[in-house]
Amino acid sequence: MRGIKLLFFMSFIWWGCTEEWLQEPYSSSPTGVFDAVWEEYDQTYGAFGAKGINWDSCRRVFRARLTPEANSDTLYNVLCGLLRQLNDGHVQLIANGYKRFYSVPIPTIFPDSKYYENASEISMLFDVIKSRYLSSYVDSGNCFYGIINLKTVPKYIGYLYISGFDRESFSTDFIDRANMAFAHCAGLIIDLRFNGGGSSEVLTAVANRYADQKRIFILSKIRNGRSHNDFTSFISHIIRPEGVNLGQKPLVVLVNRHTASSAEHFVLAMRARPHTLIVGDTTAGALSTVVQRIAPNGWEFRTCPQVLYDTTGQLLRNADGRYPDGIGLPPDLYVRNMLKEIYRGYDRVMATTLNYFEDYFNEIGRNHPTYSLKH
């Protein structure tokens, strides 16, 4: 795979995660496990109101399908049905001997792929970028960067791929070296396709290198009480210029259905700056922080206490009015890769982005100095 570490949707790195056993009075019987799991979400999950979920009704429907004598298969299926109602990209059930359950089904990336894409096909995409689009590149193992020459205008574009924001393996020094190499470039591409997330501190440190000024890009609250309406006060999520900063350059961020968690927060941060375009597919919809719990029978599950708001204090909503957890953030320009094109050495998302950059700079050259990247 030539050194690139890919963080897939099914292995999100979560933020601030703690892992605790649920204690008495719950038993390890099927009904005891169900009650323990249901109540933990009842007391910790944040987005019931944002999504309009009646959790008491969910309990009545799904608990009725259990008896104290139910076997593990029945319990697993009932819990999966319950958690499916949350439609949350971070909610999972990890039960020994069973397939890991995701509240949101794992999506496919290539619409012409007969099967779920494998690591070699994903790696092929980035090999295409290195061989066809970059004049040269520098690879750290987790990230790589290079320069792209535009065809119709004498401009250079800096390209940076980031596979994840894992605190232990990430180097902001590498990002600074990339940005120094991009100093002469007219625009930038940050590729977050297959970026499964990581540390909020890392994503903020990277985002700060592309911030044009100090900006609040999102607000959040954390569930902190037994009532579904018990939350902290607003927490401001801020970016500000630091490091080797390229905050004044036009920027395109590439995303797909496996762009998740803190990578989605990175998208929100970049949308707060001017001259930014998001290109690709809708993101994964895994936006909350995560807390991991262990049920009385040893099965693990994840609950999500965070709720996001826009900078005016309104719940974060998509254009259709829906809270984006479990749905994802739509791009400004919707483009999907075809697997057959990747095999031929063509990245449709990248090609579309470069065409947009060429149009952008051609318009600037026609005395339209305020022409927006989103035109």
The CB density around residue 38, as the number of other CB atoms within 10 Å, is 19
Give me the residue spans of the domains in the chain.
10-102, 108-288+306-365
Residue 328 per-residue DSSP state: -
Q: Hey, what CATH topology would domain 10-102 get?
A: Transcription Regulator spoIIAA (3.30.750)
- State mean pLDDT over 147-175: 94
Q: Hey, what CATH topology would domain 108-288+306-365 get?
A: 2-enoyl-CoA Hydratase; Chain A, domain 1 (3.90.226)
pLDDT surpasses 60 at 370:
no
Please write the tens of the pLDDT for every residue from 274-289.
999 999 999 999 999 9
- State mean pLDDT over 295-324: 95
The residue with greater pLDDT, 160 or 373, is 160
Phi, psi of 18 (to 5 degrees): -120, 155
- Please return the burial class of 359, using the count of CB atoms within 10 Å of its CB with bins 0-12, 13-18 and 19+: middle
Q: Which residues contact 148 (CB under 8 A, 6 or more apart)?
A: 133, 134, 135, 156, 157, 158, 159, 189, 354
Query: In this predicted structure, what is the pLDDT of residue 3?
Result: 36
Contacts of 36-43 with CB under 8 Å at 24 or more apart are 36/295, 36/296, 37/79, 37/82, 37/295, 37/301, 38/63, 38/82, 40/293, 40/301, 40/303, 41/86, 41/303, 42/228, 43/226
- State mean pLDDT over 218-223: 98
Does residue 87 sit in helix, strand or coil? coil
DSSP letters for 204-243: HHHHHTT-SS-EEEEEEEEB-SSSTT-B---EEEEE---S
Of 287, 366, 370, the residue nearest 327 (C-alpha): 287
**Rounded Cα distance, 325 and 316, in Å:** 9
Of 218, 223, 222, the residue nearest 237 (C-alpha): 218
pLDDT surpasses 50 at 4:
no
Please write the tens of the pLDDT for every residue from 247-262.
999 999 999 999 999 9
Query: 247 near 270, Cβ under 8 Å?
Result: no
pLDDT surpasses 70 at 14:
no
Query: In this predicted structure, what is the pLDDT of residue 17?
Result: 44
Local confidence band at 8 (pLDDT 50, 70, 90 cut-offs): very low
Rounded to whole angstroms, the maximal C-alpha distance in the chain is 76
Q: Which residues contact 327 (CB under 8 A, 6 or more apart)?
A: 87, 282, 285, 318
Of 88, 7, 6, the residue nearest 45 (C-alpha): 88
- The reply to whether 10-102 and 108-288+306-365 are identical in fold is no
Query: 36 near 293, Cβ under 8 Å?
Result: no
Local confidence band at 368 (pLDDT 50, 70, 90 cut-offs): low
Local confidence band at 333 (pLDDT 50, 70, 90 cut-offs): very high
Please write the tens of the pLDDT for every residue from 53-89.
999 999 999 999 998 889 999 999 999 999 999 999 9
pLDDT surpasses 80 at 12:
no
Q: Mean pLDDT across the chain, nearest whole number?
A: 90
